[in-house]
Amino acid sequence: MKILLVSDTHGEHIELISAYAEEMKADICIHAGDFGFYDDASVEAMSYEELKLLIKHSSLPDEQKSILRQATSDERRKAIVKNHLLGCFPDFLNDKMRFGWPVYATWGNHDDANVVQKMIESPVRNLNMLHEKTFYDLAEFVILGVGGNCVPHKAFTQHYGRGHLPGAQCRPTSVLSQYLALLKTARSIPAGKHIVLVTHVSPIVEPFLELLAWVIGAEITVSGHMGRPDGETMTTDSARIPILRQTYEQMLELYPDAEKDLKLFYPEFDDRMIRHINLPDAADGYGVLEYADGRFIYEMRGVTYSTQKELKMGKDMFRFARATYSFATGEYSRMLPVADKIIAGELSNDDEAYYTERMLYCLGYGKMSELLHKCCESIIKRDPRFAVVLLDEEHEMMEGTEAPYSEELRHEYDLYKEKHTK
């Protein structure tokens, strides 16, 4: 299984998830937070500092960023809305877009906690939220995690209301009770499973998260937040037990009243190793994690990887390839919910013609051919002539290299052709 590892899409770069997934031919995706979990109202809840950071992480020209650094909050909000810096996640919430791959995501310290809570309670299609009360079993390994900022020396034992996340609405954090719940979840995982732990903040820089990974029994950790252009990796093995125990003692000193709970994080000796993968921001690259024959192999594809690819392929060709992936997968995401309406016969003839023509223009992308064929399986039963015209156009455009028809679609197509070519 090939797994895309990505982080810090910050709303504006959400569509890179699908583009990278196609580039590396991923089976699934893991996202380590700062996703861009925003809705249309999120900008109003952002503090002056959050507005500043959103603009900083955007692709606006440096000159415009410089002007907005001196702007008022209202001026920044207008610029964010005008330039669509919140990204396209509202389209996923409204089922105008869908991911074409299973995505397993946690949230970061720059996501809207209200939107995250909504996603935990009622996730959108193909997007699975990683939070402290659940794990996802993918046969031989499991994925679990929790998001938000992790600052153990600040109010780590605070309580928060049911149905809410700790911290400000657009500055969520994480607290001890969430990690206790995550530890309880981890202990319900069947024995013998490999564990992938996802956090937004990296265990490489936050000692408590390294301790957490050890106590949970993780084999791999995936994180973001740091923004290192090529990412960063580290290992934890039994040689670090003294350091882990030092972290444990420091937590006890910070929160003596929570000693009963903190004792659950005492690091016992074990002869094993955890590999920590801290990802670059999505604008700089991604990671590849491959699971086969009971073991994980990973590769970082950050700025250095892109530079080497540019040298090998040529800058223009490399950028053209990435732009093509981005366009094709973006169209695919937009056509997935439309296809359901076509299959159900809910669109007018004009709309059906419009959207199937859009699919035809992306036929170099195999997934789009498969989606068009699913639509044609339905269309051919109510309008066989139109379905056959679509399939003939596909054949002509692809010069016979289109994806194979299903047996049912091939049968209906052949019947129509036989009847109308005599």
For residues 268 and 176, state if they share a domain: yes
For residues 322 and 293, state if they share a domain: no
- 156 near 175, Cβ under 8 Å? yes
Residue 139 lies in a domain: yes
Residue 73 lies in a domain: no
What's the rounded mean pLDDT across residues 264-270?
A: 97
- For residue 420, pLDDT over 90 is answered with no
Number of domains in the chain: 2
Token pair, residue 130, equals: 């990683």
For residues 285 and 360, state if they share a domain: no
Q: What is the pLDDT of residues 181-224, one digit of tens each?
A: 999 999 999 999 999 999 999 999 999 999 999 999 999 999 99
For residues 224 and 145, state if they share a domain: yes
Q: Specify the CATH number for the domain of residue 13.
A: 3.60.21.10
Residue 97 lies in a domain: yes
What's the rounded mean pLDDT across residues 228-253?
A: 97
Calculate the average pLDDT of the chain. Answer: 94
- For residue 301, pLDDT over 90 is answered with yes
For residues 269 and 321, state if they share a domain: no
Cα–Cα distance list, 340 to 242, 343, 376, 384 (Å): 56, 5, 12, 19
Q: With bands split at pLDDT 50, 70 and 90, how would you rate the model's confidence at 400? A: low
- For residue 316, pLDDT over 70 is answered with yes
What type of residue sits at position 37?
Answer: F
Residue 63 lies in a domain: no
For residues 26 and 171, state if they share a domain: yes
Q: What is the pTM of this model?
A: 0.94
Q: Which domain holds residue 211?
A: 2-40+86-301
For residues 293 and 338, state if they share a domain: no
For residues 324 and 289, state if they share a domain: no
For residues 214 and 239, state if they share a domain: yes
| Tokens 């990802």, located at residue | 279
For residues 104 and 151, state if they share a domain: yes
For residues 95 and 209, state if they share a domain: yes
Residue 223 lies in a domain: yes
Which of 254, 279, 301 delimits the end of a domain? Answer: 301
What does residue 61 show for φ and ψ, rounded to 5 degrees?
-60, 150
For residues 277 and 372, state if they share a domain: no
Residue 81 lies in a domain: no
